[in-house]
Homo-oligomer: A and B are copies of this chain.
Amino acid sequence: MEKKSIKDVAEKAGVSTALVSYVLNNRMQGRISEATAARIRKAAKELNYQPNRIAQSLKLQKTRTIGLIVADITNTFSSQIARIVSEEARKKGYLVIIGSADEDAQKCAALIELFLSRQVDGFIIAAADNTEAQLKKLLKQKVPLVLFDRYFPSLKANAVTIDNYRASCTVTEHLIAAGKKRIGIIAYETGLFHLQERLRGYKDTLQQHRLAAPASLTGFVNIDNIEQDVARALDVMLSSRGRADAIYFTSNKLAVAGLKVLVERNIAIPGTLAVVSFDESDSFDFFHAPLTYVKQPLAGIGSEVVSMLISQMDMPASKITSKVLDAILVARASSQPS
């Protein structure tokens, strides 16, 4: 049961390796006699021959491997995307190698280097903050690349995203419709465009409805200090003067951290405070008041991102495309009018 090479098959069938390759890849149809073809196929089967993909990759100068870099693999969003992308790619004959940048530009750079040295054919990336320069370098090297989730307006790259601005408007409208007047937001302190868009959607919608958006109702959180920053921000918002009656967490991680605080503080949800989160979390489902959240079309993102990358790899000169998908608001108990 040793490793069999094409040479073994050739020997066993009494032909040259070239012929074996042709037959097994269905090249040169019609030029090869059915008798030898059959003999070769039989020999291959009997030896349980599997072509060595490393050798193939070297010769063909492509590995049929995709490098996927997610923001943070411990987040459901990332792990779901990883699952979907892997499966989608597998269907099309590609293997996906997954790396988690953990929201760190350095780590992201290291992953890109690692994957490049492994000769991936292309990248699918949810970029961390401050990675524009790296991505620009990749683009200049003409490495096939698709961004998702996060993207940079300044970058000429393929991208699959959702309309974060509009989703945020929807969230805010929803809270307003539920009778909330003092809506707070918890957001990251970040340069990432998609997160700024979430903030912008919230602000614009409030303004449109002539509702106040005082600084005290906007909490900025540093990503390296989520727990404390969220707690501090919430305490400000819940202080007696101008108390918030609703809070919009712009990510699931923020929401999870926030809910812990709210539970500790014994805040009634949705009675005292309505809550909405961007993205899902296992936890939301069995919170006593199941959380209202913005659901991203994960399957859509995953399949779109893969087919976009593959089409770019097949025709490297093709135009840059960008696709914007719709997120939907799943309204549940945590934001019911009270």
List chain A positions with a Cβ less than 8 A from chain B. Answer: 1, 50-55, 57-58, 63, 73-74, 76, 79-80, 82-83, 86, 90, 95, 97-100, 113-114, 116-119, 140-141, 256, 259-260, 263, 281-283, 285-288
Contacts and interface: CB of A to CB of B under 8 A. Distances in A.
Contacts of A74: 76, 79-80, 83
A79 B286 CA distance: 22
Nearest to A98: B98
Contacts of A99: 86
A275 B259 CA distance: 21
A288 to B, nearest CB: 7
Contact of A79 (B73, B140, B288): B73
Contacts of A58: 52, 54-55, 58
9 contacts: A1-B140, A52-B58, A54-B58, A54-B119, A73-B79, A73-B83, A86-B100, A260-B286, A283-B286
A115 to B, nearest CB: 9
Contacts of A97: 95, 97
A50 B52 CA distance: 23
**Closest 6 pairs (CB-CB, A-B):** A283-B283, A260-B286, A54-B57, A54-B58, A54-B119, A79-B79
Contacts of A117: 50-51, 53
B286 A256 contact: yes
A263 B286 contact: yes
Contacts of A116: 50
A74 B74 CA distance: 10
Contacts of A95: 97, 114, 118
A281 B286 CA distance: 12
Contacts of A86: 98-100
Nearest to A76: B74
Contacts of A263: 286, 288
Contacts of A63: 54
A140 B79 CA distance: 34
A100 B80 CA distance: 12
